[in-house]
Amino acid sequence: MVEIAENAELGGLETGILLAALRAAGEPTRLRILALTARAELTVSELTQILGQSQPRVSRHLKLLCDAGLLDRFREGTWVFYRFSNGTSTVNLGRVITDLIPADDALIRADMLRLEAIKKGRAEAAADYFRANAGHWDEIRRLYVPESDVETVLRRQFADCPLNDFLDVGTGTGRMLEVFGPDANNAVGVDMSREMLAVARVNLDRAGLGNCQVRLADMYNLPLPAHSFDGITYHQVLHFADDPAAAIAEGARVLRPGGKMVVVDFAPHELEQLRQEHAHRRLGFADAEIAGWCAAAGLKPGPVEHLAGTPLTVSVWPATAPATVQEHRV
C-alpha cells in the first residue's frame, strides 16, 4: 500500500477515487480480471472461459471495476469488450496494481495460458477472414503505388505534429495504428466492420501495441469528445462514404486546436469496376473538392501530395485546425 501511495504516477489522484479503486481491485477475481485486461481487451464470454466462473458473477465483478474507473466498457454489436481504462485518473493506478502481481503466481500464470489460447483462436479466425478477402485487396493494391510509399508521405505529414492522441477513421486492418501507434500515447481506430476490427485486434496484439484500441463506430457520429485528438487519418475510406463532407466535418469536431487531419484517397479516375465489384461509391476526389470540405469544417487545407500509379493516383490531403477553438458552419 505504501508503494502504491508513493508512486509518482499517481500524483494528483483524489483520495476518494483512490480508495474506491483500491476497494474494487482488492478481491481475487477482480485482481485476475485486471491482470488479464492489462494484456488484452476481452468480452464477458472470454473472461468466463478464462476464469472458470459463471457469466453473472463475472459481470458483477466487471461492473464494480467499471464503476471504480479501472475498466472501460465498449459495446460492439451484440458483444461488449472490456479493457483498461484510458481516460480517467485511475488508469495509472490500475497499471501500478497489476505490476505488483508476482510474475510466478500460479493462478495468474494459468490465466495467462488460457488468455493465449483465446488470442490464438482470434488469430486463426482473423487469418481465415483475411485469406477469404485478400484477393480483393491485392487486386486493388496492384492498381496504385506501394503502400510503403504512401506511409512514407504520411509519416512526413505528421513529423511536426505531436501525436499524444491519434485517431484512424475507417481503420480496417489497423495498419495506420501500427504506423503511428508507437509514437502516440493513445491511438484509437474506428470501423463499421466487426470482421475488420477482429483482424485489427490481432495485428495490434502481435505488434505489442497496448496503447492502441479499436472500436465499432460510425464515422458520421463518432462516440468521442470534441477536441480530443492531435492527429486524424482517413486512409482509403472516403470513397466508401455516402457523405464524405459530413465525415470530414465530424473528424474536425474531435480534432484539437492546432491538430492535423490527413485524408488519403484516389484522385479522380474512371475505373467503374471499383464501384461495381468493390462497393466504391466515389471514383476518386478532386483536390478542390477535399479542400472545400475541409474549409467548410473550419480546417485550413495544406499542400497536396500526389503519388502517381498505374492507373490510379493516390492523393494525400492535409488540413490543420486553428490554434484556438472556433465556431464553424457544417
pLDDT tens digit at each of 330 positions of the chain: 434 444 444 455 577 777 888 888 889 999 999 999 988 889 999 999 999 999 999 999 999 999 988 998 887 667 788 988 765 455 578 888 888 888 789 999 999 999 999 988 888 876 776 677 766 776 787 889 999 999 999 999 999 888 999 999 999 999 999 999 999 999 999 998 888 899 999 999 999 998 999 999 999 999 999 999 999 999 999 999 888 999 999 999 999 999 999 999 999 998 988 888 888 888 999 999 999 999 999 999 999 999 999 899 999 999 999 998 655 444
What pLDDT does 87 receive?
Answer: 53
Domain ranges of the chain: 2-114, 143-320
Q: Which of 40, 22, 90 is nearest to 209 (CA)?
A: 40
**What is the Cα–Cα distance from 88 to 296, expressed in whole angstroms?**
33
Q: Domain spanning 143-320: which superfamily?
A: Vaccinia Virus protein VP39 (3.40.50.150)
C-alpha to C-alpha distances, 5 to 9, 27, 95, 103, 277, nearest whole angstrom: 10, 19, 13, 21, 59
User: Can you say how many angstroms the Cα of residue 165 is from the centroid of all Cα atoms in its chain?
Assistant: 10
What pLDDT does 97 receive?
Answer: 86
What pLDDT does 69 receive?
Answer: 87
What pLDDT does 91 receive?
Answer: 58
- Looking at 1.10.10.10, 3.40.50.920, 3.40.640.10, 1.10.3720.10, the CATH number of the domain 2-114 comes to 1.10.10.10
What pLDDT does 132 receive?
Answer: 76
Angle at 191 between CA 211 and CA 136, to 5 degrees: 115
What pLDDT does 135 receive?
Answer: 67
